[in-house]
Amino acid sequence: METAEYAGMFKWFEEATFPDPAGARETLRRVSLGLYPGAIKAAMAVFDVVESIAVSRTRVCAAGGIHALTRIQVGAHALSHVRATSYTTVPQPGVDP
């Protein structure tokens, strides 16, 4: 991971799959009052569990341990682990345990 920040999937989406020679992205940002990048970044962050866990672990290590984070940051870190666990332990229909 190059940088410790969320929305890496969004950056890849913008740079690799959405070339913008005419400046449409900036127009969309202005017209939607910032809703365009914010809503898509949030939606992509929800589904990119691996990246959010990696970013939160990097931030925990950079802060010197979990005790150095705020309660909100600790809650987000714990929630990312719960999300990852729920994705991997959800039973699939038609599969016998």
pTM beyond 0.75: no
pLDDT at 1: 46
Q: Give the C-alpha separation, 48 to 34, whole Å.
A: 21
The three-state secondary structure class of 92 is coil
Q: CB within 8 A of 75, min separation 6: which ones?
A: none
Of residues 82 and 30, more confidently modeled: 30
Domain regions of the chain by residue span = 8-89
pLDDT in tens, 6-35: 667 777 777 777 777 788 888 888 998 888
Of residues 90 and 27, more confidently modeled: 27
Of residues 93 and 65, more confidently modeled: 65
* 63, 55 contact by CB (below 8 A): no
For residues 57-84, give the mean pLDDT.
Answer: 79
